[in-house]
Amino acid sequence: MLGRMTRNIGVITTLATILAILAALGPASGIASGGNGPHAVFAGHSIRVADVSNYQCHDAAFPVIECFETAVERDFDFVSRTEGDDALGAGADILSATSYVTWFDAVNYGGGSFTASLSYSDLSTLGWDNRISSFKSLNGGRPKWWQNTNFTGTSWRWLAGAQVPDVGAGASDQFSSVQNVP
Ligand SMILES: [Ca+2]
């Protein structure tokens, strides 16, 4: 009897811990605020947000932006975190993020890139203001790009799931906010 109670208390304590971790992680979807800017990490070390666009990064663990040398590493890490394939088998690492776009610094999917699961009212908080030149929609997503922050000014949109190797001279290096609008 006492043993069962102890086990139950143990289960409840574990659940409370998981809930506390989830609460600390914040909402897994929605619009990221520009107030408390994200924190970027590469190879276990903090990097300046201004340098994020030089790397291959994702936001699955937002507000931590995780960056890698290659897109393959980035994509593997995103899948590991969101589908539980982590080599460590750590269940606490599983997040519910679903990516809707990977955007790129250069045309033809070149240079640094960023895989996003959130909308961003100010891409400067990621170091990506006025830099994007190509993108690939993911999971049937349909990013809506805005010339100014807070989803204002001119906007651009392609078809859901669009792969766009060059957003064009009028749109390249213009995007300052983005939201997923299926
Ligand atoms: Ca702009």
Q: For residue 163, what is the enclosing H or E element?
A: strand 163-164
145-170 burial by CB neighbour count: b if 16+ within 10 A, else e?
Answer: bbbebebeeebbeeeeeeebeebeee
Bigger pLDDT: 180 vs 14? 180
Q: How many angstroms separate the alpha carbon of residue 145 from the centre of ligand 1?
A: 10
Q: How many angstroms separate the alpha carbon of residue 170 from the centre of ligand 1?
A: 11
Bigger pLDDT: 182 vs 58? 58
pLDDT tens digits for range 31-47: 544 446 799 999 999 99
pLDDT tens digits for range 52-93: 999 999 999 999 999 999 999 999 999 988 886 555 555 556
Query: What are the start-end ranges of the E strands in the chain?
Result: 31-32, 39-42, 45-47, 56-58, 64-68, 101-106, 110-116, 119-120, 134-137, 143-148, 152-157, 163-164, 177-180
Bigger pLDDT: 78 vs 9? 78
90-121 burial by CB neighbour count: b if 16+ within 10 A, else e?
Answer: eeeeebebbbbbbbbbbeebeebbbbbbbbbb
Q: What is the pLDDT of residue 134?
A: 98
pLDDT tens digits for range 91-144: 556 678 899 999 999 999 999 999 999 999 999 999 999 999 999 999 999 999
Q: How many angstroms separate the alpha carbon of residue 39 from the centre of ligand 1?
A: 22
Map out the domains of the chain as residue ranges. 39-180
Q: What is the pLDDT of residue 16?
A: 52
Q: How many angstroms separate the alpha carbon of residue 7 from the centre of ligand 1?
A: 56
16 burial via Cβ count (<10 Å: 0-12, 13-18, 19+): exposed
Q: How many angstroms separate the alpha carbon of residue 32 from the centre of ligand 1?
A: 18
Q: What is the pLDDT of residue 10?
A: 55
Q: Cα-atom radius of gyration of the chain, to the nearest Å?
A: 18
Q: How many angstroms separate the alpha carbon of residue 173 from the centre of ligand 1?
A: 7
Quote the CA–CA distance of 145 and 82 in Å, as a whole number. 25
Cα separations in angstroms, 150 against 64, 66, 125, 144, 179? 21, 24, 12, 12, 10
User: Does residue 19 carry a pLDDT above 70?
Assistant: no
Residues 57/68, Cβ–Cβ less than 8 Å: yes
Superfamily covering domain 39-180: Crystallins (2.60.20.10)
Q: How many angstroms separate the alpha carbon of residue 179 from the centre of ligand 1?
A: 14
pLDDT (mean) for 137-155: 97
Secondary structure class of 12 (helix, strand, coil): helix
